[in-house]
Amino acid sequence: MMNLKEIKQNLRKLGLESEYGYRPEIKLIPDSLDAGESLLAISSGIRKGRRWYIVLTEKRLLMLTKPTMGSPSLIALDRAVIQQIEKKKGLLFASITVKTEEGKYRFSNVLKKSVAPFLAAFHSDSI
């Protein structure tokens, strides 16, 4: 299992420019990964008024949030249940929508430059 230091090194390789604002979510990643699971892509955005960190692994899509005043939340989706990931680019930011049979998870205020690598990693390693 990866420790926090290894996670941070891996995140930098994947293009995380700054931990600012996402330190609480990053600290949740080591406990959220299964044995043998590694990070393939990362992004972040706003969903239902909360800041979320979106992590793609070989097996799952992890959505993590840790509000200042509140309990952390983790939504873990097996990649097999993900039907589609859509993008929409705006003037300054983009949005990502993850579609499953149960519903949709839409994230706004996503950095545009994180969208293409995230989708490429999802499609190149899809089940």
Q: Indicate the angle between helix axes 23-32 and 4-13, nearest 10 degrees.
A: 110
Q: What pLDDT score does 47 carry? A: 95
Q: Quote the pTM value.
A: 0.83
User: How far is C-alpha 41 from the chain's CA centre?
Assistant: 7
Q: What pLDDT score does 21 carry? A: 54
The stretch 2-22 carries a mean pLDDT of: 66
The tokens describing 23, both together, are 């330190």
Name, in order, each residue with C-beta under 8 angstroms of 113's C-beta and a sequence gap of 6 or more. 15
Between β-strands 93-100 and 60-65, what pairing exists: parallel, antiparallel or unpaired?
unpaired
Residue 15 has pLDDT above 80, yes or no: no
Tens digits of per-residue pLDDT, 22-46? 677 888 888 888 888 888 888 889 9
Read off the pLDDT band of 125 (50, 70, 90): low
